Amino acid sequence: MFWLHAVSAVRIVMLSPQNTLSDVMPHHELEIVYREIINKIYKIIPPMLESFHKGQLGRVAVIGGSEDYTGAPYFSGMASAKLGADMSHVICEPGAGQVIKTYSPNLMVHPYMRQSKNMKEGENIDNISKTVTDMLSRLHVVVIGPGLGRDEAMQETCARVIQEARKQGIPFIVDADGLFIIQNRPELVQGCTECILTPNIVEFGRLAKAQGIDANGDPSKLCEELAKKFGGPTIIQKGAKDYISNGKHTFVNDNEGGLKRSGGQGDTLTGSLATLLAYRKAYHDRIWDHENDLSESETLALVAFGGSAITRECSRLAYKEKGRSLQAADLTEHVHTAFLNTIGEKTKI
């Protein structure tokens, strides 16, 4: 059984279920194909111009953060900021907000979310979710799930955020306990092409089971099959290799990463994806002069691959420095270097 592995808009390679791109192509050809992909991602990256004003290069919000989980939204927000987003917001529970504010003054923290047990008199899901969704018009991208937890009120608020983001055409990324929402209510993302889901192997298995898919099999085929079931979203199945599919095209990123699997590394991925999606919007809005030769569907796939590549390089750099002591915070400090190593800076048109 063979499947099509789309490595770029112009190059397609046949792979067996057991093989990846590096198994069937000579190293020099692999480098050429990889460079083709990176060169296209490079086109999306805005140059650093004096004419830009605050906010044009990314207004991102991470929605999550509860009493028990304060690190995840911080890691995601900081990855977004370190990759170059002008403004990085965290929308969270008040108990998490006070803590996250002490982590960094660079994040704008809004304690608008509520766990069920912490709702005050007069507060309900309707007015809480409205407070959150009222912020969407100020944003380019939303990340839903880091540190969210499974409290019913928190989950329902985020479900409404997803609905409103779709109405407004705002791209969003769903991770962690945000995926629990999708597992139970797949219609929220059904047919949405401006959505990226980032499950790990366990979360992927739950999503697959909910869609009636046997998760035991070739990961690349499974990722493609699940993406087809959703009919729009791009899925990044995280692991030793990252499988990326929108149901039509599938990438496998087996770039070297670190060997430590400490919790929280996926938050660097969501933050990186958020900034790249903001850059994608800037590209399609043509806030600088460029060829404008990439379609919206193509740039979304490139963003997914770019976020994966940057995160894996962060992991590699952090592991090289820290070894088995590596923690999620170590990746944050390598985001900029990982960007330079994988994509490269753009200072001029």
Q: What is the pLDDT of residues 134-172, one digit of tens each?
A: 999 999 999 999 999 999 999 999 999 999 999 999 999
257 is in an annotated binding site: yes
Ligand-binding annotation for 141, yes or no, is no
242 is in an annotated binding site: yes
Amino acid making up residue 215: A
264 is in an annotated binding site: yes
* Paired tokens of 49: 């111009």
Say whether 166 counts as a known binding-site residue. Answer: no
Judged against a pLDDT cut of 80, whether residue 14 lies above it is answered with no
pLDDT tens sequence across 162-194: 999 999 999 999 999 999 999 999 999 999 999
Residue type, 104: S
Q: Per the annotation, does 68 bind a ligand?
A: no
Per-residue DSSP letters for 122-187?
T--HHHHHHHHHTTGGG-SEEEE-TT--S-HHHHHHHHHHHHHHHHHT--EEE-TTHHHHHHH-GG
Is residue 200 part of an annotated ligand binding site? yes
Q: What's CA 165's distance to the chain center, in Å?
A: 15
Which long-range contacts link 330-334 to residues 24+ away (Cβ below 8 Å)?
A: 331/75, 331/79, 331/265, 331/268, 332/75, 332/78, 332/79, 332/82, 332/268
Ramachandran angles phi, psi of 215, nearest 5°: -80, 0
Confidence of residue 26 (pLDDT cuts 50, 70, 90): low
CATH of 56-342, one of 3.40.1190.20, 3.30.2130.10, 2.60.120.1440, 3.40.50.2000: 3.40.1190.20
Is 248 annotated as ligand-binding? no
With a cut of 90, say whether residue 20 has pLDDT above it: no
259 is in an annotated binding site: yes
Tens of pLDDT, residues 291-313: 999 999 999 999 999 999 999 99
Query: Any bridge partners for residue 60, and if so which?
Result: 88, 141
Phi, psi of 46 (to 5 degrees): -70, 145
Q: What is the DSSP string of 62-93?
A: EE--BTTB-HHHHHHHHHHHHTT-SEEEEE--
Q: Is the pLDDT of residue 89 over 90?
A: yes
User: Is 60 annotated as contributing to ligand binding?
Assistant: no
**Residue 8: is its pLDDT beyond 50?**
no
Domain ranges of the chain: 56-342
Go through 253-291 and write b for each residue having 16 or more CB atoms within 10 A of its CB, e for each that does not.
bebebbebebebbbbbbbbbbbbbbbbbbbbeeebeeee
- Model confidence at 15, pLDDT cuts 50, 70, 90, reads very low
